[in-house]
Structure 1
Amino acid sequence: MGQTQHTPLFKVKADIRVSAAPHEVYAVVSDLPRSAEWSPECIGGTWVSGEPATVGAVFRGENLRSPDVVAWAPVVRGTWTTESQVVAAEPGRVFRWAMRDSSGRAQESVWSYEIEPADDGCVLVHHFQMDTPTEGIRGITAEMDEAEKRRFFADWSAKLAKDLQATLQNIKAVIEQK
């Protein structure tokens, strides 16, 4: 039997050149409590279990979303928390975390930073991929018809693309301001 191929619900990627060594960039991006310095939505958080920034560690993020973000869709607005679990931690190369569901299981909703050495620094790649709907996405789209779902996934993908680029520009500014 062949394997069924499916298209991810979201697959968004952005990159930026940073004038710093890969290990320096990794030290910043793997420090998730600092996310408030660069994220459009995460306003901070804390490590709640495990050795911080290592595979298996759990981070509780505090988030804030304005009312005008994809205003027509029934998404969470204001403040809310999320939990995520580190699923890859290779210093100087890759840092990846998966969003957890309400029972603490990692979902197919994965954020990552990948770092590629380059002349006079590195290229930082920020990636988000969601293969199957999370609890949150199932709730958001539960009452939508197919056309509304297509519109939501297109609008949310555009929002994510802007957020990834803004995040990278902010990280670059944080790192290069030394």
Structure 2
Amino acid sequence: MSQSTDEETTFRVRAEIAIAASPHEVYDTVSDLARSGEWSPECRGGRWISGMPGAVGSVFRGDNLRGTDVVSWAPVVRGGWQTESEVTAAERGRLFQWVVLNSAGEKQDSTWTYEIRPTRDGCVLVHHYRLGRLTEGLAKIFDGLSEAGCARFVTEWNAKLGQDVATSLKRLKTVVEQA
């Protein structure tokens, strides 16, 4: 399977949840990526390695962990690994976004976003992920799969990502509302 063009999307997932807290409280939580282990199914936390924490242009090194049961047939990283990501949008109470960097520190077409909309009772937190062109790691995986294997991987991995995003939101709701 060839890599996506700029107009194509390999993965896209989105979920939202109502949270009984102010947009600023929610933003302050989701933009504190070092706390990601409290809600993320894979990211266990990490640390800021450049820039001011949470500011546009800052880089975060995430510590991740994936079990053997996740799309078990696919040749993906198992166990622990790290990623580096750069914050691309940081508007307190409204928007927090980052992109995953490649091994050379360049931005890839792999974007994670939190959007926050105020409501009468708090806010709605929207979490989404979009991958257009294949990342460095996914390109290697796709090169080793048949056309049918690539199609199966896209379907199953997109479902996994959708579940991860929904799980993160449910956990975030608990973290924020119990604070």
Could you tell me whether the CA contact under 8 Å between 2:56 and 2:87 is conserved in 1?
Answer: yes
After superposition, the CA RMSD in angstroms is: 1.0
The aligned residue for residue 129 of structure 2 is 128
Could you tell me whether the CA contact under 8 Å between 2:6 and 2:132 is conserved in 1?
Answer: no
The aligned residue for residue 95 of structure 1 is 96
Gaps of 5+ in 2: none
How many angstroms does 1:142 deviate by? 1.0
The aligned residue for residue 174 of structure 2 is 173
**AA matched with 1:79:** G
Q: Number of aligned pairs?
A: 175
Mapped partners of 1:68, 1:136: distance in 2: 19
Q: Which aligned segments of 4 or more residues in structure 1 are displaced greater than 2 angstroms?
A: 4-7
Mapped partners of 2:47, 2:169: distance in 1: 21
Structure 2 counterparts to residues 14-25 of structure 1, below 5 A: 14-25=15-26
* Secondary structure of the corresponding residue to residue 169 of structure 1: helix
Could you tell me whether the CA contact under 8 Å between 2:102 and 2:135 is conserved in 1?
Answer: yes
Identity of aligned residues (%): 54
Structure 2 counterparts to residues 65-84 of structure 1, below 5 A: 65-84=66-85
Could you tell me whether the CA contact under 8 Å between 2:6 and 2:133 is conserved in 1?
Answer: no
* Secondary structure of the corresponding residue to residue 100 of structure 2: strand
Structure 2 counterparts to residues 12-161 of structure 1, below 5 A: 12-161=13-162
Mapped partners of 2:127, 2:87: distance in 1: 15
TM-score, normalised relative to structure 2: 0.96
* Secondary structure of the corresponding residue to residue 152 of structure 2: helix
TM-score, normalised relative to structure 1: 0.96
How many angstroms does 1:5 deviate by? 7.2
